[in-house]
Amino acid sequence: MDAREQLHVLGRTGDYPPFAGKIREIHKHPLTAKGIDIVQINLGKRCNLSCRHCHVEAGPERSEVMTQPVLEKCLEILQSSPISTIDITGGAPEMNPHLEWFLAGAAGLERRLIVRSNLTLLGEEPYRHFLDVFVQNKVEIVTSLPDYVEAKSDRQRGAGVFRKIIAAMRELNSRGYGMPGSGLVIDIVHNPVGAYLPGTQAALEHEYRARLLSDHGVHFNQLFCLTNLPVGRYLDYLIASDNFEDYLSTLCQSFNPAAVDNVMCLTTLSVGWNGLLYDCDFNQMLGLTVNHGAPNNIMDFDIEKLKNREIVINNHCYGCVAGCGSSCQGATTVA
């Protein structure tokens, strides 16, 4: 489904008001950025996996990859702006040929540097050297592990993926990742394997920690719970399994006004593989560039115009404010 069709489907909120109306009801419209604290850079849609929930619809067949001039511009902006966090995502970032060069440049800026990796490439050539590249650049690794049960996790990400992740985590643990006092951080993202919302982050983290250690001898720092947003392949899944209406209703019913104040778009700027700017990675996949007068291309970056921009919203935004809230850093409110 292309972005236009997805937005059309998302318009069907039934008995519930569109997200913009809901925000108006609680007097928070328009939603306005509070600054740019995180720049999330999507290095491209190429990936070795084709996960069933992927909002990016990434896969081996995708050819969209961020080029070096766009990455150079990102570095230039980061150097001259007080942005604390560089968050690299994809696709599989390792499949972008410029990643190693970019990490070296970004590490020199002494900011918080995150790479969202599926880890499965780290056991294969020509990607194994990234195990050491990540250590050298003190990269914080965030990896998706939808469940601590292999069969369940593989239902979402593909056969054999769970074992590869566990193997990579063991190697990273042996280099200090997830171990006390090392300063090397590896966090796990949990997202539901199906049409329901994630449970309490603390309860799930406790269970993950116990099960991964006892069953696989693996350590990690934090668990982040992410709500699956009805975008990309996950939207396809919801429709094909006849869960779309129920799921969207659940998101609308679970609207949490307190989570609105902490949505990630208020402090994040998302950069697409081709340099276009978005309020978040989900807007990126729906083709909703930053708007309301802010420049929408990295080449025209202007922090003054972007830092207090009005956020572009649509009904998928219900996902980030449902229940305890959801962001790339996990729940946004405490249960």
Partner 1 sequence: MILNHVQERRKLIRLAYPNIRQTLPPPDKTRDRRLKNKSKEFCVSYYEPKDLADFPNIGEWAAEQGNKFFEYYGAATGAGKLTEREKSLIALAVAMTQNCPYCIDAYTTKCLSLGIGSEEMMEAAHVGAAMMAGVTLAHTTQMRKIIKKKEM
Q: Which residues are near partner 1 by CB under 8 A?
A: 147-149, 152, 190, 192, 194, 196-200, 203-204, 206-208, 246, 249, 253
Rounded to 5°, the CA angle 331-117-146 comes to 50
Residue among 100 and 207 whose Cβ is closer to partner 1: 207
Q: How many Cα neighbours within 13 Å face the side chain of 110?
A: 0
Q: Crossing angle for the helix pair 161-174 and 150-157, nearest 10 degrees?
A: 110
Residue among 32 and 253 whose Cβ is closer to partner 1: 253
Residue among 280 and 331 whose Cβ is closer to partner 1: 331
Measured from the CB of residue 265, what is the shortest distance to partner 1 in angstroms?
24
Measured from the CB of residue 188, what is the shortest distance to partner 1 in angstroms?
12
Residue among 37 and 207 whose Cβ is closer to partner 1: 207
Residue among 206 and 292 whose Cβ is closer to partner 1: 206
How far is the CA of 226 from the CAs of 101, 153, 171, 191, in angstroms? 30, 15, 25, 5
CA-wise closest residue to 194 among 238, 162, 159 = 238
Measured from the CB of residue 201, what is the shortest distance to partner 1 in angstroms?
11
Measured from the CB of residue 71, what is the shortest distance to partner 1 in angstroms?
37
Please list the residues that pair with 116 across neighbouring strands: 142
Q: How many Cα neighbours within 13 Å face the side chain of 88?
A: 29
- 86 exposure class (CB count in 10 Å sphere: 0-12, 13-18, 19+): buried
Measured from the CB of residue 308, what is the shortest distance to partner 1 in angstroms?
36
Measured from the CB of residue 140, what is the shortest distance to partner 1 in angstroms?
24
Residue among 59 and 199 whose Cβ is closer to partner 1: 199
Measured from the CB of residue 331, what is the shortest distance to partner 1 in angstroms?
12
Residue among 220 and 273 whose Cβ is closer to partner 1: 220
Residue among 212 and 290 whose Cβ is closer to partner 1: 212
Chain centroid to Cα 202, Å, comes to 20
In the block, residue with structure tokens 């719970």: 225
Chain centroid to Cα 267, Å, comes to 14
Measured from the CB of residue 192, what is the shortest distance to partner 1 in angstroms?
7
